[in-house]
Structure 1
Amino acid sequence: MAIRNIDVAKDNLTFGKLNDVSYRSFSHMASFYGRFMEPHRHEGYFQLHYIDFGYINLNLDDSVNLTPKVPLLILTPPSAPHSFFTTNETTGHVLTVRESLITPIIEKLYHSNPNIILNKAVFLSFAENSEIKKNIDRFFRIIQSSIENVDTDQDLVLSHLVQSLFSYILCKREFKDSLTVAPMVNGDLTIFQNFIKLIEANYHKQLSVPDYARLLSITDSKLKDMCRRFSSLPPKRMIFERVLLEAKRRLVYSDRSINQIAADLGFTDPSYFARFFVRCVGQTPSQWRKRSKNMQHIYQDIHHITTV
């Protein structure tokens, strides 16, 4: 079973001619898709969940059975799978926004390491009486109002509103403190950003550091130096981290065999994939999958108990 892609435009949940923005209350989305949301992703869209009350049990990217404190923001990029269970009283808001509206903001605000937001799901809990909660509540009241009062400028209004909301969140100290962000440094940023994009496009091909250097038209040593300055990780480690992230995702969220997953990620020898995984994680792929599936079963049992 492949990880399901949910296209909010095809489900008629978007607003505007370009289908750039989907907004619904969390209760509405739960009634549409269910309180037990199966593993899925949104290709081409960032999604922002804002849970302001209740309980959520969350499987996010390669982490399972999270129970973060509410109020809560959950930001998932297009590639990140997620699933969750919520109780009937859980409330909040859900924004699903075309990535072309959000990526430029991330690349500007996190230009030394945009990969930390572009490819990895993150979440942030904060205090009930905090400034960030009060301001996010205001943003969503304005977004709701703009949707309820449809006019010819709706596309423009909505796109600017959601961009402002994402900018506000991504700029907040509380959000940045939840990440490991490399310091901003000037020079060679465009090349480094292109390296990150190349990893995303080619991580499953088992390209070497010299291969990436040739694609970027630079020397191996220059690529290593840029990665040291901008990410504090060597390029080989950056490539491995992306391969490892995808391996974890597929072990958790798909039913493909370990040999098939190894082949999908460019490993011609399944035993080499197993050694790679053990070296990075400390567990075999089958052990990782078993642990994750056990958590999924617990998760489904909770859903069954609460719905009978």
Structure 2
Amino acid sequence: MTAESPVPVFKLYGEAESWSRPDLLHCETIESRSRLHAWSIATHRHADLAQLLYVRSGRARARMEDWQGELRGPFLLVLPPLCIHSFAFEPDIDGEVITLALPLLKLLRQRCGSGGQGLFQRPERLLPQGVEAGWLRQLVGRLVQEYEGRATGREIALQGLLDNLAVWLLRQRLREGSAAVSSRGESLLERFLALVEVHFREHWPVARYASELGITAVYLNALCQRLVGSNTLTIVHQRLLLEARRLLLYSASSVAEIADVLGFVDAAYFARFFRRGTGCSPSEYRRSAL
């Protein structure tokens, strides 16, 4: 199977719907999801998410793009957006899956400086040993504990822990000194998603995105359908909805102020857009989360 072949695209494994969580981070044990699928995760990929699969102990058979083999913990797998992957776990597997949405990836890359653009650009297999293995085990444990709790300063603590993890990944990558290789279609999609991150509040038409990429709107739409399973406009709208949910939950701004920040001409138009995408009004969504 090549990178251009049809492969199921999920948010989390088995979930093809939009990323509904206001957090840009998701953590869960490997057991919690793989148990539901007889310890086997079929071939799939994620369009706008990256994942870290951390195993403390236990064995797994893994496939990442063209590589496949058996691994024994401790190990960490880096799965960038669009990476084709599958797993078969032993039932005694002990570890976590850490999922990062695209806006969080962008932030981590920025915070890592000039070398940060290389983060999550290619699949990686990391086998920490000795002191480094203990450090990584402790860091992931603290990250999961902070994620599952609701203590004061949770977001600040999570960001600090993720920063530490990102710097460690960057140093591992620089140590190896290898580069990412993407197909032309995947490279175009990555560039499109990067443009969406910068311009989603400006409500660019699809033709504008296509023009910036040097392709036609028809080709861009076909590319998104093939690699992501959604059309171009839906991808942009899902990014707007994600930002709207976060602002409703994590800011004191009024609905009208949020509408303005997100580039809507008025609050009524924003409310209709939000209801179409979520099934409830902005005010109802905010109340339901309190």
TM range (shorter): 0.5 to 0.7
Residue identity opposite 2:174 in structure 1: K
Match of 1:52 among 56, 59, 83: 56
Equivalences for 1:61-210 in 2 at 5 Å? 61-63=65-67, 65-106=68-109, 109=112, 111=114, 114=117, 117-127=119-129, 130-151=130-151, 153-171=153-171, 174-180=172-178, 200-201=187-188
Which stretch shifts more, 66-75 or 89-98?
66-75
Q: Which residue of 2 aligns with 1:291?
A: none
Distance 1:68 1:21 in 2: 25
Match of 1:8 among 8, 12, 15: 12
Q: CA separation of 1:124/1:133 partners in 2, compared to 1, >3 Å: closer, same or farther?
A: same
1:50, distance to aligned residue in structure 2 (A): 0.8
The answer on whether the counterparts of 2:58 and 2:92 sit within 8 Å (CA) in structure 1 is: yes
1:45-72 deviations in Å (ceiling 9; x for gaps): 1100111111111110122x31234311
Q: CA separation of 1:33/1:20 partners in 2, compared to 1, >3 Å: closer, same or farther?
A: farther
Distance 2:72 2:63 in 1: 14
1:158, distance to aligned residue in structure 2 (A): 2.5
Structure 2 stretches lacking a partner, 5+ long = 191-211, 214-226, 228-290
1:132, distance to aligned residue in structure 2 (A): 1.6
Q: Which residue of 2 aligns with 1:229?
A: none
Question: What secondary structure sits across from 1:5 in the alignment?
Answer: coil
Question: What secondary structure sits across from 1:97 in the alignment?
Answer: strand
Distance 1:24 1:35 in 2: 15
Distance 1:147 1:109 in 2: 22
Distance 1:201 1:85 in 2: 31
Q: Which residue of 1 aligns with 2:44?
A: 40
Q: CA separation of 1:19/1:104 partners in 2, compared to 1, >3 Å: closer, same or farther?
A: closer
The answer on whether the counterparts of 1:43 and 1:79 sit within 8 Å (CA) in structure 2 is: yes
Q: Which residue of 2 aligns with 1:28?
A: 32
Residue identity opposite 1:149 in structure 2: G
Q: CA separation of 1:46/1:202 partners in 2, compared to 1, >3 Å: closer, same or farther?
A: closer
Give percent identity, aligned residues only.
15
Q: CA separation of 1:37/1:145 partners in 2, compared to 1, >3 Å: closer, same or farther?
A: same
Distance 2:20 2:163 in 1: 15
1:84-117 deviations in Å (ceiling 9; x for gaps): 11111121111001122223444675846945x4
1:154, distance to aligned residue in structure 2 (A): 3.1
Q: CA separation of 1:153/1:11 partners in 2, compared to 1, >3 Å: closer, same or farther?
A: farther
1:17, distance to aligned residue in structure 2 (A): 5.9
The answer on whether the counterparts of 1:58 and 1:85 sit within 8 Å (CA) in structure 2 is: yes
Structure 1 stretches lacking a partner, 5+ long = 183-195, 204-214, 217-249, 251-308
Q: CA separation of 1:166/1:32 partners in 2, compared to 1, >3 Å: closer, same or farther?
A: farther
The answer on whether the counterparts of 1:51 and 1:91 sit within 8 Å (CA) in structure 2 is: yes
Residue identity opposite 1:143 in structure 2: L
Q: CA separation of 1:147/1:110 partners in 2, compared to 1, >3 Å: closer, same or farther?
A: closer
Q: CA separation of 1:33/1:6 partners in 2, compared to 1, >3 Å: closer, same or farther?
A: farther
TM-score (norm 2): 0.53
Distance 2:21 2:152 in 1: 10
1:75, distance to aligned residue in structure 2 (A): 0.3
